[in-house]
Structure formats: C-alpha cells, structure tokens
A and B are shown apart, each in its own frame.
Chain A
Amino acid sequence: SQTIHQWPATLVQPVGSPLSLECTVEGTSNPNLYWYRQAAGRGLQLLFYSVGIGQISSEVPQNLSASRPQDRQFILSSKKLLLSDSGFYLCAWKGTNTEAFFGQGTRLTVV
C-alpha cells in the first residue's frame, strides 16, 4: 500500500534562516505531488505541485521554492524565512481516483 512520509513534525526557526522540508512517497511510481500551507484558522493554500521529476508548478509567488530530485521525493525550501512563513505545511500525493492523500504535516513557527 502507498504511504507518505513527511518530516519533521514540528520546527521552530528564526527569521532569516533557511528551510528544507522533505516528503517521500512509497508504494507508487510517478505520483503527482503537492505542497500545501495552512495558516492558523485558514484554509489550505496550494503552493507547488509536480507531475514528474524536475517539473514544478508554482501557484503563488512567495519566499519558497520546491524541487523534485527523484520520482518519489518532493522538497520545499526557503533561503531566508519570514515571520509570515509560519504555518502548517502539508505534502500530498494524488491517487488513481484523483483524490489526495496527505502526510502528517510539519508545523513551522518562525520566530
């Protein structure tokens, strides 16, 4: 069966520091992968999605970037974090019936 791993679960970073969040999927090949952010009390905002290695679509201009170096690996990065980058970051992959399955998320607090 397919599983999705996301780490770390929580992260506290100072303003101006870099960020790297990793997501890996097991049990499937060539999945569509997504990064979402959920700010406190807000809905899920799609940040990036990828349909294959090296293919990244950005939904919202921001302080973040994404990369897909391997088929089942999706990385979210920032060179310098802002306070507004705080939130709940969720990685997801799209299944055969087009629904999405989420990792457990990373709760990022920028201080």
Chain B
Amino acid sequence: RKEVEQDPGPFNVPEGATVAFNCTYSNSASQSFFWYRQDCRKEPKLLMSVYSSGNEDGRFTAQLNGASQYISLLIRDSKLSDSATYLCVVRESSGDKLTFGTGTRLAVRP
C-alpha cells in the first residue's frame, strides 16, 4: 500500500462548481499535513496546511480525519485559474521526511 494515496483524476468541472479531493495516508504516526498546488512544468507551491480542527482560506477548506487517516480539500466557486494538480503531503513523526501523493488533477472549464 502506498504511503499517501490520491485519486489521480482528472476532475473536470465547470466554473463556479464545488469540488472535493480526498487523500489517504497509511502511517498512523503522521503528524503534519499539507496541500500543495503544482502547475504544469512548475515546482509545487504550498496551498495550505491542514489542522486537526479543519481550516479555511478563502474558497479553500481543508479537513483532517485522523481516525480514518484521510485529509480532504474542498474548493468552492471554482475559477479557471484553479486548474492545476493538487498534491497531498504528509510529514511523519520524526519530522525530517515529507511524503507526497501523486496528485489529483483539476481542470476547470468555462
């Protein structure tokens, strides 16, 4: 089983739609969680951290379910500029290693 698993997509949605991605992780000792965004042929950039109580940043909401070992990202009112690959990232308890999922591709159409 992969350490971090994501549905590769693509998720093809119209502008204004709400879309949600899930990510599961296998290491129950994982302590920190993040969502990154990667545009085509560019480096990944931090989108938001995921806190145990859930957190929101504008149109983006991230949640953690520690018992079921998954995190989620919800995007409301999708924009064309949201089209990208969204990477789920998990930090193990030792703190030195970050493990990336393979990413979920989102395509927002006019």
Contacts and interface: CB of A to CB of B under 8 A. Distances in A.
Interface residues of A, number: 25
B45 interface: yes
A43 B98 contact: no
Interface stretch (B9-17, B69-77, B89-97): B89-97
A34 B98 contact: yes
Interface of A: 32, 34, 36, 42-44, 46, 49, 51, 57, 59, 88, 90, 92, 94, 97-105, 107
B49 interface: yes
A97 B91 CA distance: 11
A44 to B, nearest CB: 4
Given A44-B44, A99-B46, A101-B46, A94 B98 contact: yes
A contacts with B: majority SS: strand
A55 B96 CA distance: 12
Contact of A107 (B41, B97, B101): B41
Contacts of B46: 99-101
A42 B34 CA distance: 19
A103 B44 CA distance: 9
Contact of A43 (B49, B96, B97, B101): B101
A102 B32 contact: no
A90 B32 contact: no
B43 A46 contact: no
Interface in B54-110: 87, 89, 91, 95-103
Contact of B103 (A43, A94, A100, A101): A43
A32 B41 contact: no
B43 A98 contact: no
Contacts of A100: 46, 89, 98
